[in-house]
Amino acid sequence: MNKLKQIGLTALAGTLASMTVAQAGAVSVNGTAEMSWVSLPEHQVTGNPFGQKKNITFSGNGEFSNGWTYGITHVMNDTFTGQSSSSMNINMGGILTLAYDSGTGGYGANARDNVVPTAWEEVDYGFTTGITDVGAVSKAKGVVNISLVAPGSGSAISFSYASRMGAGAVGDGGTSGDATSNGHSGMDLSIDLWNINTKYFDLRTGAAAEKVTHLTNCSNNENNVENKVSSCGGQKGDAYAATIYQTIGIGPLSAGFQASYKDPGTSGGIENNQSWVAGVALTIGNYISVSCGRGYDEYYYSDNYIPEQNQPEGRDHEDAGGSERIHASFRGCSMAGNYGPLALKYVRNDVDNQGGGHASGRDDRGEEHQEINLSMAF
Predicted pLDDT of residue 130: 94
Phi-psi map region of 272: left, alpha, beta (phi>0 left; psi -120 to 50 alpha): beta
Nearest to 136 by CA among 156, 108, 158, 159: 108
**What H or E segment, with its residue span, contains residue 13?**
helix 2-23
Helix, coil or strand: residue 227: helix
Strand ranges, E, within the chain = 25-39, 50-63, 69-76, 83-92, 96-102, 141-149, 156-162, 185-197, 201-213, 239-250, 253-263, 270-284, 288-301, 324-339, 342-352, 367-377
Sequence-distant (6+) residues with CB within 8 A of 156 are 147, 148, 149, 150, 190, 191, 192, 195
pLDDT at 296 over 50: yes
In this structure, is residue 248 part of a structural domain?
yes
Alpha helices in 86-239 (DSSP H): none
Query: How many structural domains compose the chain?
Result: 1
Phi-psi map region of 48: left, alpha, beta (phi>0 left; psi -120 to 50 alpha): beta
Asked which of 53-57, 145-149, 171-175, 353-357 is least confident by mean pLDDT, the reply is 171-175
Task: Considering only the C-alpha atoms of the chain, give the largest distance between any 2 of them, rounded to a whole number of Å.
Answer: 94
On whether the CB atoms of residues 186 and 200 are closer than 8 A, the answer is no
The domain that holds 63 is classified in CATH as: 2.40.160.10
Query: Mean pLDDT across the chain, nearest whole number?
Result: 82
In this structure, is residue 5 part of a structural domain?
no
pLDDT at 222 over 70: no
Burial class (CB in 10 A: 0-12, 13-18, 19+), 289: buried
In this structure, is residue 2 part of a structural domain?
no
Predicted pLDDT of residue 186: 94
The pLDDT-based confidence of 286 (bands split at 50, 70, 90) is confident
DSSP 235: B
358 to each of 127, 327, 352, 376, how far by Cα in Å?
16, 9, 9, 40
In this structure, is residue 282 part of a structural domain?
yes
Could you tell me how many residues make up the chain?
378
In this structure, is residue 195 part of a structural domain?
yes
Predicted pLDDT of residue 72: 92
In this structure, is residue 250 part of a structural domain?
yes
Predicted pLDDT of residue 310: 47
Q: Which domain holds residue 47?
A: 25-377
Q: Output the CA torsion sign for 106, 110, 114, 115.
A: positive
Q: Output the CA torsion sign for 111, 117, 119, 121.
A: negative
Predicted pLDDT of residue 168: 77
In this structure, is residue 19 part of a structural domain?
no
Sequence-distant (6+) residues with CB within 8 A of 87 are 72, 73, 99, 100, 101, 102, 104, 106, 107
Predicted pLDDT of residue 232: 65
Predicted pLDDT of residue 370: 95
What does the pLDDT look like over 199-209, one tens digit per residue? 899 999 999 99
Predicted pLDDT of residue 336: 97
Phi-psi map region of 117: left, alpha, beta (phi>0 left; psi -120 to 50 alpha): beta
What does the pLDDT look like over 330-377, one tens digit per residue? 999 999 999 888 999 999 999 999 998 865 444 455 899 999 999 998
In this structure, is residue 267 part of a structural domain?
yes
Q: Tell me the mean pLDDT in the region 66-78.
A: 89
Predicted pLDDT of residue 236: 81
Q: Tell me the mean pLDDT in the region 235-258.
A: 95
pLDDT at 163 over 60: yes
What does the pLDDT look like over 18-49, one tens digit per residue? 434 455 567 888 888 889 999 888 777 668 88
